Amino acid sequence: MYKNNTVRIGALPFKIDHTEPLAVDHLSERVVGLVHENGRDRDVVIVCIGTDRSTGDALGPLIGSKLSARITRERVSVYGTLDAPVHAVNLKDTITEIQTKHVNPFVIAVDACLGQLSSVGLITLANGPLKPGAGVNKVLPEVGNIHLTGIVNVGGFMEYFVLQNTRLSVVMKMADCIADAMDRAVANLELLPAKSEPAGMNRSLAERIAALRSNLFPTSPSN
| Domain boundaries defined on the chain | 14-190
Burial class (CB in 10 A: 0-12, 13-18, 19+), 14: buried
CATH architecture designation of domain 14-190: 3-Layer(aba) Sandwich (3.40)
Per-residue confidence (pLDDT) for residue 92, from 0 to 100? 94
The distance between the two most distant Cα atoms of the chain, rounded to a whole number of Å, is 60
Phi, psi of 63 (to 5 degrees): -65, -45
Residue 127 or residue 209, greater confidence: 127
Cα–Cα nearest to 132, from 157, 106, 117, 113: 113
Per-residue confidence (pLDDT) for residue 31, from 0 to 100? 94
Spatial distance between the Cα atoms of 53 and 178, rounded to a whole number of angstroms: 20
Per-residue confidence (pLDDT) for residue 11, from 0 to 100? 67
* 13: preceding bond cis by omega (within 30 degrees): yes
Could you tell me which residues are beta bridge partners of residue 79?
47
Cα–Cα nearest to 142, from 81, 85, 94: 94
Spatial distance between the Cα atoms of 18 and 3, rounded to a whole number of angstroms: 9
Portion of the chain with pLDDT greater than 90, in percent: 58
Average pLDDT over residues 181-204: 66
Spatial distance between the Cα atoms of 206 and 125, rounded to a whole number of angstroms: 15
Do 184 and 217 meet the contact criterion of CB atoms below 8 Å apart? Answer: no
Per-residue confidence (pLDDT) for residue 60, from 0 to 100? 96
pLDDT(211) > 70: no
Spatial distance between the Cα atoms of 107 and 90, rounded to a whole number of angstroms: 17
Burial class (CB in 10 A: 0-12, 13-18, 19+), 119: middle
